[in-house]
Amino acid sequence: MTPSQCKMARSALGWSLRNAADKAGIGINTLVRIEKNADVRVSTIRKLRTAFEAAGIAFLADDGRGCGIRYGLDRD
């Protein structure tokens, strides 16, 4: 998950920094560091990604045109 994908996921879900940090069980300052591409433990990023995926976010790999996210297509 890239910093841009993190911001896109929060936006798609309508989550504030505080809300996303709480759902992932991480500190808000840590989330800010992730979005600024600062060094953060892989396990911490994994927690955040897991929270996003549980909420319906799919992360798309770079296909030569950039990476992205998908949200809402497979929802009931």
Sequence-distant (≥ 6) Cβ neighbours of residue 67 within 8 angstroms: 2, 4, 5, 59, 60, 61
- Note whether residue 22 is domain-resident: yes
- Note whether residue 42 is domain-resident: yes
pLDDT digits (tens, 9 = 90+) for 11-45: 999 999 999 999 999 999 999 999 999 999 999 99
- Note whether residue 29 is domain-resident: yes
- Note whether residue 76 is domain-resident: no
pTM here is: 0.89
Question: Does pLDDT of 76 surpass 90?
Answer: no
Number of independent structural domains in the chain: 1
The total of other beta-carbon atoms located within 10 Å of residue 6's CB is 22
- Note whether residue 25 is domain-resident: yes
CATH code assigned at 16: 1.10.260.40
Q: Which domain holds residue 49?
A: 3-71
- Note whether residue 58 is domain-resident: yes
